[in-house]
Structure 1
Amino acid sequence: MKIGLDIMGGDYAPEATVLGAIEARKSLSPHQKLVLIGDREIAENILQKNNAGTGDFEFVHTTEVIGMGDHPTKAIVQKPDSSISVGFKLLKEGQIQAFSSAGNTGAMLVGGMFSVKTIPGVTRPAMTTIIPKLKGGMGVLLDVGANADCKPEHLLQFGILGSLLAECVYDMPAPRVALMNIGEEEEKGNLLTQASFPLLKESTQINFVGNIEGRDLFNDAFDIAVCDGFTGNVILKLAESFYVITLKKGLKDEFFARFNYEQYGGSPIMGLNAPVVVGHGISNPEAIKNMVLLSKNMVESNLIEKITQAFHQTN
């Protein structure tokens, strides 16, 4: 197995990404290779300064970087030797089995759809995040930003994608899927949620348990929560602020500590033909390490094959 890591992506790259790669390498087996994609000379200097052997990694040198402010589609086309563009080229050719980056999220979405493309039957890839539960454990929320506007059939597909991620990667048997809404009653919500409810209810591919409200997000009423990307992104950014607020207030609490994005590494882009993970722009070495390990788990679980089979049955 070869896992590709964009070492040029993120606010603190390449220092943080290479240091994260060093830590991730310690958790990988000998047959699992980490491929560092970016400026090889800089990477080797960082490795040497931290007494890490260059022989523990493979390198693919690139000369361009897609910045956080670059237009995603233009950057993918105009910067073919960027670490993100080259990473997706390697992924498409099968030279790596997974690719992760803490760089430009839009470029990661566009790059994935242009290169490895979506799994047949998946109309919209979705991004996920982990939601800590008050009594322990976690839930999965999607979409959290890939699709600001959605149709009912997209939310059904998110339910299927989220269920497979939970089963295969997070070891949740028969995960309960809920629809994020403004009320528990079936008829509540806007046009999107009202039309989505019967689709989710009638599907035999998910374990649908009905609507949940914002106040249910951290309890044990569900395992997978689906919503449009606009709503999901607002929820994600609000949840991330909880951890920051507790730090600023000097509060120490086990529950709020689990809102620390570093623990989860990144957001899988569900629905692509290969494992792709997007990290937070401010990812530090711990987050980079966990992003790499999440990529590894996605490969080992045969998640993409299981999603392909599920959508083949749907069609």
Structure 2
Amino acid sequence: MKLAIDAMGGDNAPEQILLGVNRALKEMPDLELLVFGDEKKISTYLDQNSRAQIVHAPDVILGTDEPVRAVRRKKESSLVMMAEAVSKKEAAACVSAGNTGALMAAGLFVVGRIDGVERPALAPTFPTIDGKGFVMLDAGANSDAKPEHLLQYAVMGSVYAEKVRGIDKPRVGLLNIGTEEKKGNELTKAAFKLLSDAKEFHFIGNVESRELLNGAADVVVTDGFTGNMVLKTIEGSALSIFSMLKSALTASTKSKIGALLLKEELRSLKNKMDYSEYGGAGLFGLKAPVIKAHGSSDANAFFHAIEQAYKMAQSNVPSIIETQIASGKE
């Protein structure tokens, strides 16, 4: 299995990216990698390994670059060259922690969309209290959506949850302001009927945002505008809660003693809610797996993003999605 890696994208590139690459090469004996970026910088951190080939890319797409323009103009950037390798079938999948918009543009214009998929979706996996997690799509690839798009999101998310996350008969929920069938706006009401009539997945009805972290569904579908707000609200709330908890536990000698006694429990809680254990956000609906690792990914987070891309390619997720989408149109 050969994957393509953008070594220069993300806040902690290239060091943390390549430390994650080194771990992946150690733990996945059949993994081969094409690592794109500044050859000199990559050589500093990449362990010598016959299964990792450095491909020099003299340019970098920055987080401040306008996505589509950058993809069109920076043809020798590590991100674009990585996507080109997938398009040419030199690699089965790719992973980057770089500019999200640029990666989505490269996914669409370079890797290409699956026939029949109207709009690809950005699909991160969120932690839940029970530790199982759920995948949500769309989380921002498209601000607007039609009911038919949400139907395709449900198909794609269900395939991913089953084939990659190993969930038998994944529960698909429609994000809404209430659980009743008649709740919501025109989009959710129309989508509810389409999802209810579909046979390709197990639809459980509407789910409310307050129940997401309780594991209300394995797959949650929504439009990209709503999904992106949910994504950022969950991330911001988690950071704020841990910040307040840290302040409370270091406020006095008594609280510090309590924190010391609860050290293992607190570490367990942090690990359970740690996004880095769940990989990156997949761009579903493309001809090959494209994984967007978190921009602040450390070595652990990037390793799991590589693992996610590996599993998607190994399970042939894009081909299964294509078959499902085609059967639904018949």
Task: Verify: 1:157 aligned to 2:171, yes or no.
Answer: no
Which residue is equivalent to 1:10? 10
SS for the counterpart of 1:155 is: helix
Aligned with residue 312 of structure 2, among 276, 294, 298: 298
Partner Cα distance (2:301, 2:131) in 1: 21
The SS at the match of 2:144 is: coil
Counterpart position of 2:56:
61
Call closer, same or farther: CA 1:219–1:46 in 2, change over 3 Å. closer
**1:265 equivalent in alignment to 2:279:** yes
User: Over alpha carbons, which structure has the higher Rg?
Assistant: 2
Question: With structure 2 as the length reference, what TM-score do the two structures score?
Answer: 0.90
The count of corresponding residues between Structure 1 and Structure 2 is 310
For residues 63-105 of structure 1, what are the alpha-carbon distances to aligned partners after superposition, in whole Å with 9 as ceiling and x for unaligned?
1000011111100111000011111111111101110100011
Provide the residue aligned with 1:209 in structure 2: 204
| Counterpart for residue 25 of structure 2 | 25
Give the C-alpha shift of residue 244 in structure 1.
2.2
Matched, 1:183 2:178: yes
What is the alpha-carbon distance in structure 1 between the residues aligned to residue 289 and residue 65 of structure 2? 24
Distance 2:236 2:148 in 1: 31
Distance 1:161 1:44 in 2: 38
2:291 aligned residue: 277
Q: Secondary structure at the match of 1:26?
A: helix
The CA RMSD over aligned residues, in Å, is 1.5
User: What is the CA-CA distance between 1:109 and the residue it aligns to?
Assistant: 0.7
1:35 is aligned to 34
TM-score (norm 1): 0.94
What SS class does the counterpart of residue 4 from structure 2 fall into? Answer: strand
Q: Secondary structure at the match of 1:217?
A: helix
Runs of 4+ residues over 6 Å off in structure 1: none
Distance across 2 between alignment mates of 1:265 and 1:136: 14
Q: Give the aligned partner of residue 253 of structure 2.
A: none
Contact 2:127 / 2:278 at 8 angstroms: preserved in 1? no
1:241 Cα deviation after fit: 2.7
Percent identity, aligned pairs only, is 39
Give per-residue Cα distances to partners, 1:34-82, cap 9 Å, x unaligned: 22111111111223xxxx2253411111110000111111001110000
Structure 2 residue aligned with 1:117, among 112, 118, 135?
112
Structure 1 segments unaligned to the other structure (5+ residues) = none
Contact map agreement 1:127 1:146 (CA 8 A) in 2: yes
Structure 2 unaligned segments of length 5 or more: list them.
Answer: 250-265
Say if 2:172 and 2:220, in contact at 8 Å, map to a contact too.
yes
Instruction: Give the distance between the partners of 1:212 and 1:74, measured in 2 at CA.
Output: 38
2:122 maps to 1:127: yes
Q: Is this contact kept in 2: 1:243–1:257, CA < 8 A?
A: no
Q: Which residue of 1 aligns with 2:97?
A: 102
The aligned residue for residue 72 of structure 1 is 67
SS of 2:75 mapped into structure 1: coil
What does residue 132 of structure 2 align with? 137
